[in-house]
Amino acid sequence: MDPRDFWGKSAKLWLCPILLFVACLGFYSNVFSLTPGWQSKESQSPEPQQLQESSLQPESLPLSECDCHLDTCRIPEVPRLIYPKAQVLKPTRVDVLVMTPWFAPIIWDGTFDSAVLDAQFRNTTIGLTVFAIKKYVVFLKLFLETAEKYFMVGHRVNYYIFTDRPADVPQVPLGEGRQVVVLEVRNYSRWQDISMHRMEMIRNFSQQRFLHEVDYLVCVDVDMKFSDHVGVEILAPLFGTLHPGFYAAPRQSFTYERRPLSQAYIPRDEGDFYYAGGFFGGSVPEVQRLTTACHQAMVADKAKGIEAVWHDESHLNRYLLYHKPSKVLSPEYLWDEHMLQRPPFLRKLRYVAVPKNHAEIRNR
């Protein structure tokens, strides 16, 4: 007999049982891995080093069905619309940057179609937060009146007014689906403390109320007024606004916190943009993560006896450097006509500062 015939027949006899065994082993291992509670003791008990590292991280929030990554969220269906076709070879803006290096759009006039976006966000509720502490309550009337005229017109809006003077909140006529919600909070002796505690208050009320009442939060300064359309084009999981004083400046001139001892520290060779503390937001879970991280960083700084150079704005910039926003708003959305000369490419001024005596307002 040819030895090759013998080994060929024998191989068939022992190879089949081996393959069957391997297949069964793979099947049962998958079943066990999918069975709740079927985990080894090693997988249930993380290493001590892992526990130490996780304890140093900011508080994390569980993901929900509505709290998904931008690219995996369910895309809404829009009704039939008539609108101009976008021209691939004829961009609407060539005079300004309209996209960040991480593919986040920068929102300028002419880069969006409000009709299409309004249809996409037609079932959305927006929360607008402002802090009217002490004398800042005097800005509320103009703020609310102009918001009713220009902010998220046609959409459901909750105006969340944080104040220590609830009796002084003015009565302003509101459109359908829009309401003022007064949230009474304490005041602080220094305006810097009021500014820094905003992050803590937004975080706390996000957990208590905002997660259950609105889809997005827009957090702005109250000593301003709306002067043109501000709509759903700004909405994104996380957005920040280019500071009107630094939108064209090199990163070395940004007024980041430069002391390594601070949790807001940013080295001089890092930085994308300088973001304004007076206009930021996103989905409620993302804003809760941002405000939680900033508040924890400020608590850590306070324990070391240090205060970031621009308070909560410094911590906001640190956060947005390492958690890239999914949209960036141009200086159209935050401007001061009395301190800055309007450049020709700034076609609209949507949210502008109201003239005031800072010393008088802050110290009363």
Confidence tier at 360 by pLDDT (50, 70, 90): low
Q: Whole-angstrom Cα distance, residue 198 to residue 222?
A: 12
119's enclosing H/E stretch is helix 114-120
Higher per-residue confidence, 364 vs 169: 169
Query: Annotated binding residue at 111?
Result: no
Residue 15: inside a domain, yes or no? no
The answer as to whether 317 is a domain residue is no
- Whether 313 is a known active-site residue: answer yes
Q: Looking at the domain assignment, is residue 78 inside a domain?
A: no
Task: Look at residue 17 and tell me if it is in a domain.
Answer: no
pTM metric for this prediction: 0.80
Per-residue confidence band for 34, with pLDDT thresholds at 50, 70 and 90: very low
251 by Cβ neighbours in 10 Å (0-12 / 13-18 / 19+) ranks as: middle
Nearest to 309 by CA among 361, 271, 363, 262: 262
For residue 58, pLDDT over 50 is answered with no
Average pLDDT over residues 238-244: 98
220 assigned to a ligand binding site: no
pLDDT at residue 92 greater than cutoff 60: yes
258 lies in a domain? no
Q: What pLDDT is stored for residue 49 in this prediction? A: 37
- pLDDT band of residue 187 (cuts 50, 70, 90) is confident
Q: Is pLDDT at 317 greater than 90 in this prediction?
A: yes
- Does the pLDDT at position 315 exceed 80? yes
Residue 56 confidence (pLDDT) above 60: no
Please give the average per-residue pLDDT across 15-32, as a whole number.
51
Q: How large is the average pLDDT for residues 320-339?
A: 97
Instruction: Pick the catalytic residue from 200, 286, 313, 332.
Output: 313
pLDDT for 93 equals: 96
167 is in an annotated binding site: no
For residue 318, pLDDT over 50 is answered with yes
Report the percent of the chain where pLDDT is more than 70: 76
Whether the CB-CB separation of 229 and 350 falls below 8 Å is answered with yes
Q: Which residues contact 32 (CB under 8 A, 6 or more apart)?
A: 38
Residue 45 has pLDDT above 50, yes or no: no
Residue 319 has pLDDT above 60, yes or no: yes
| 115 is annotated as contributing to ligand binding | no
Instruction: State the pLDDT at residue 330.
Output: 98
> Which of 19-23, 37-41, 51-55, 192-196 is predicted with the least confidence, judged by mean pLDDT?
51-55
Domain total of the chain: 1
pLDDT at residue 271 tops 50: yes
Task: Check pLDDT > 60 for residue 28.
Answer: no
Q: DSSP state, 273?
A: -
Identify the pLDDT of residue 195: 67
Q: Is 336 annotated as a binding residue?
A: yes
> What CATH number is associated with residue 337?
3.90.550.10
Q: Give the pLDDT confidence score for residue 26 in this predicted structure.
A: 53
* pLDDT at residue 75 in the model: 84
The pLDDT value given to residue 13: 54
Average pLDDT rounded to a whole number, residues 133-143: 95
Task: Copy the structure tokens of residue 167.
Answer: 């009796």
- CA 297 to CA 290: how far, in whole Å? 11
With a cut of 50, say whether residue 7 has pLDDT above it.
no
Quote the pLDDT of residue 44.
41
Q: Is residue 195 part of a domain?
A: yes
pLDDT higher at 197 or 234: 234
Predicted confidence (pLDDT) at residue 68 exceeds the cutoff of 90: no
- Domain holding 349, by residue range, is 105-244+273-305+326-362
| The predicted structure's pLDDT at residue 78 | 87
Mean pLDDT value across the chain: 85
Q: Is residue 72 a part of any domain in this protein?
A: no
Please indicate if the annotation marks 131 as binding a ligand.
yes
Quick check: is 51 in a domain?
A: no
- The answer to whether residue 280 scores a pLDDT higher than 60 is yes
Q: Please report the pLDDT score of residue 278 as a whole number.
A: 97
Q: If we measure between CA atoms, which residue out of 311, 359, 348, 284 comes closest to residue 107?
A: 348
Q: Comparing 13 with 219, which gets the higher pLDDT?
A: 219
| pLDDT for the residue numbered 313 | 97
Count helices and strands in the chain by DSSP H and E runs: 10, 10
